[in-house]
Amino acid sequence: MVIQENMHSPGHYNVSANKIAINKPSLVTYLHEFCHYKRIHLKQKNTEHIARGWSISLFYLATPKLCLKSIKSGKIIHQNRIQQTGDKVK
Ligand SMILES: [Zn+2]
């Protein structure tokens, strides 16, 4: 089983191989896929919405200025907010 990301996803978690694959080095992508890994192995609810929110929140807690800079410059696609409201991060 592979966690199905969208076709533009920079990474994925392969459950059966227990491997995270990252197409382009990215801390947020790694955290996102690690969230899938952690939640599957702890038998917790596992959704894209949760993985996106958890990874970006953790990045923000660690380095808020860099996180906001990354969002503003478009390096982090803030899909949950954009999909829900149509807003763009200002
Ligand atoms: Zn995901």
The pTM is what? Answer: 0.77
**Mean local confidence (pLDDT), 19-25:** 89
Distance in Å, CA 69 to ligand 1 centroid:
22
Distance in Å, CA 80 to ligand 1 centroid:
12
- What per-residue confidence (pLDDT) applies to 83? 47
- What per-residue confidence (pLDDT) applies to 80? 53
Residue with the larger pLDDT of the pair 24 and 41? 41
Q: Residue 78, Cβ neighbours under 10 Å: how many?
A: 16
Distance in Å, CA 6 to ligand 1 centroid:
8
Domain ranges across the chain: 11-63
Q: Is the per-residue pLDDT at 21 higher than 60?
A: yes
Summarize pLDDT for 44-88 with one digit per residue, the tens: 999 999 999 999 999 999 999 999 999 899 888 765 554 445 555
Look at the block and give the residue holding tokens 């906001």: 68
Alpha-carbon distance 81 to 1, whole Å?
28
Distance in Å, CA 37 to ligand 1 centroid:
10
Distance in Å, CA 7 to ligand 1 centroid:
11
